[in-house]
Amino acid sequence: MRRYLWSHTRFAGDPLEYRGTGLELLIGALLALVLVMVPLFALSTLFQVLMAQGQPVLAALCYAALMFGLFYIVGVGVYRSRRYLLSRTAWRGIRGGMEAGGWGFGVVYLKLGLLQIATLGLATPYISVRTWNLLVNDARFGSFAFRSDATVSGLYPRFLVALVASLLLLGGTFGLLITGQMASVFSNPVPGPAMVRNLIVIYAAVIAAFFGVALIMAGYYAALLRRLFAATSLGGLRFGIEVGAGDLARFYLGNAAIVVLTLGLGIMVMPFRTWSFYLRRLRTEGALDADELMQTSLQGPKQGDGIADAFDLSAV
């Protein structure tokens, strides 16, 4: 799949080349199983044993270690996935890479996750921008370095308006359901046509409310994408993306419709739709001096992005 996507993507007239192998991905998956999933399973089992033995304090400490370890490993996986993909991506024979191994990024990712929890999600714009800058500023393509100086300036008003509107929509929907259909279901729990109608209304209203939230948040996320890409450069090349709230809404509603109408089989085309959606809207300004572009000296990992795949966080 990656070879297909890369080979059908051209820059300055030449296609990208994907140099990864299935064996590398297999090794990465096996390492993720041994180094990540087994310890997490062991901690989870220990937590249940401690609870069963009536030791809530030790169980709480075990649970905290489980959650902290999970956040940390996910951060490492995200970084190493980008590192692997860049190291296996070539253009005119030049490949990319990243400077670090991802272990330090895992610590920052853990801190940002704790900040997200402590602020009840209000730090979302800052976390998005901070994560992007960290990943981009560690990335290299050949002898050139990627740079990003994105800021949260102007993003918070959009985010807060979208957040308040989303909460009002969800609160209003659940309030009406609690005083209406849900009250009818609990007051008359006998199965029958009336209960079926009420349940259909409840599920339809909840689904519609979450789709409404997605549409409301689309404006913010479109602005975020424009900000992140506009702040990114490579050598003399600056990036941008032409995406609006309507584009994102149509894209994700289309994805949902495909998955539903195909009874889940359509999920196989999602990577291709996603790649096409973003690459066709990507824009560049300036020029990349191909004469000065030399091969990178960075060493790539020997195995694929197994940790990110284990948590479904791989970029592609």
Identify the pLDDT of residue 180: 66
**Looking at per-residue confidence, does 54 or 90 come out higher?**
90
Separation CA 316–CA 43 (nearest Å): 30
Separation CA 316–CA 3 (nearest Å): 11
pLDDT confidence band for 125 (50 / 70 / 90)? very high
Q: What is the mean pLDDT of the chain?
A: 88
pLDDT in tens, 243-278: 999 999 999 889 989 998 999 999 999 999 999 999
Separation CA 18–CA 1 (nearest Å): 10
pLDDT confidence band for 202 (50 / 70 / 90)? confident
Centroid of chain to Cα 266: 20
pLDDT confidence band for 194 (50 / 70 / 90)? low
Going by C-beta distance under 8 Å and a sequence separation of 6 or more, which residues neighbour residue 133?
A: 148, 149, 150, 231
Percent of the chain's residues with pLDDT above 70: 92
Place of tokens 């400490």: 61
Separation CA 79–CA 156 (nearest Å): 26
Identify the pLDDT of residue 182: 57
pLDDT confidence band for 148 (50 / 70 / 90)? very high
- Residue 15, SS3? strand
Short-list 256, 255, 296, CA closest to 277: 255
pLDDT confidence band for 308 (50 / 70 / 90)? low
pTM: 0.86
pLDDT confidence band for 300 (50 / 70 / 90)? confident
Short-list 49, 86, 30, CA closest to 316: 86
Q: What is the DSSP letter of 102?
A: S
What is the DSSP annotation of 42-88? HHHHHHHHHHHTT-HHHHHHHHHHHHHHHHHHHHHHHHHHHHHHHHT
Q: Is the pLDDT of residue 296 over 70?
A: yes
**Looking at per-residue confidence, does 301 or 195 come out higher?**
301
**Looking at per-residue confidence, does 198 or 251 come out higher?**
251
Separation CA 198–CA 185 (nearest Å): 7
